[in-house]
Amino acid sequence: MLQVRIHGRGGQGVVSGAEMLSVAAFLEGRHAQAFPSFGSERMGAPVMAFCRIGDEPIRSREPVMEPDALIIQDATLLHQVDLFNGLRAGGTVLINATRSQDELGLDELVASNRYKLFTLPATEIALKHVGRAVPNVPLLAAFAALTGIVKLESVIAAIRDKFAGKVGEGNVAAATDAFERVRKEQEGQHA
């Protein structure tokens, strides 16, 4: 079972990000569970959502305490919330940031825990394609590219399930853009 925790701020689509990830996994025949943290959700406040993906029905209802992966939708939370709490050694971390791991001051933390950390300018991608600062969809697509947990087609289908019309298509474009960026970066590394 893969356990993902998404951190962000109210209004950034943290909860719908987890929901879409679960839908994408469901579309690939997996069992998936997504739910919000039980905190006060209001614009700008730190919020969390969780997603579990597995091959068996998921019974546990506890929050994701020991995630395999983190998606951080707002890098300013790095100084406010204990984001890495419980993240297993070697876990994946995807941060919405224009800055690098080094510039974020995370080199030591990443090295000592063997985290696989990636940054993506997700807000910029969202602004370009959706016209709003909603980084959840580009992050989701990038997460799919990084981990292979779900295919881009499934992410796109989950987006269309959630958002109709222009907003949906803008998000599809944002997802495709983010997915391809990560793929290109990975190819660059392997070349």
Partner 1 sequence: MLRQIEGSRAVAEAIALARPQVICAYPITPQTHIVEGLGEMVKSGELTGCEYINVESEFAALSVAIGSAAAGARTYTATSSQGLLFMAEAVYNAAGLGLPIVMTIGNRAIGAPINIWNDHSDSMSMRDAGWIQLFAETNQEALDLHIQAFKLAEALSCPVMVCMDGFILTHAYERVDMPTQAQVDAFLPPFEPRQVLDPAEPVSIGAMVGPEAFTEVRYLAHHNQLRALELIPRLAVEFKNEFGRESGGLLRTYRTDDAETIVVALGSVNGTVQEAVDTMREQGVKVGSLSLCSFRPFPLAAVRSALQHAKRVVVLEKCFAVGLGGIVSDGVRKALSGIVLKGYTVVAGLGGRAITRASLIKLLESAGRDELEAVTFLDLNREIVAHELQRERKARRTGPTAEAILKSLGTVASSVG
144 makes contact with partner 1 (CB under 8 A)? no
Name which of 65 and 111 has its Cβ closer to partner 1. Answer: 65
Nearest distance, CB of residue 65 and partner 1, angstroms = 6
Site pattern 109..128 for partner 1 (x: CB under 8 A): --------------------
| Largest interatomic CA distance in the chain | 46
Residue 108 makes CB contacts below 8 A (sequence gap 6+) with: none
96 makes contact with partner 1 (CB under 8 A)? no
Coil, strand or helix: which one is 31?
Answer: strand
- Chain Cα centroid distance, residue 115: 15
Q: Which of 162, 181, 95 is nearest to 135 (CA)?
A: 95
Rounded distance between C-alpha atoms, residue 171 and residue 160, angstroms: 9
Nearest distance, CB of residue 18 and partner 1, angstroms = 8
47 makes contact with partner 1 (CB under 8 A)? yes
Stretch that binds partner 1, among 18-26, 113-121, 134-142, 168-176 (CB under 8 A): 18-26
- Chain Cα centroid distance, residue 10: 15
| Residue 177 parent element (H or E) | helix 165-190
Nearest distance, CB of residue 114 and partner 1, angstroms = 21
> CB neighbours (10 Å) of residue 77?
19
Handedness of CA 26, 28, 29, 33 (dihedral sign): negative
Q: Which residue has the tokens 């602004």?
A: 127
38 makes contact with partner 1 (CB under 8 A)? yes
5 makes contact with partner 1 (CB under 8 A)? yes
Q: Which of 6, 7, 141, 150 binds partner 1 (CB under 8 A)?
A: 7
Site size for partner 1 (CB under 8 A): 37
162 makes contact with partner 1 (CB under 8 A)? no
89 — alpha (psi -120 to 50), left (phi > 0) or beta? beta
Nearest distance, CB of residue 32 and partner 1, angstroms = 7
Nearest distance, CB of residue 180 and partner 1, angstroms = 26
Residues that bind partner 1 (CB under 8 A): 5, 7, 15, 18-19, 22-23, 26-27, 31-39, 45-48, 57-65, 77, 80-82, 85-86
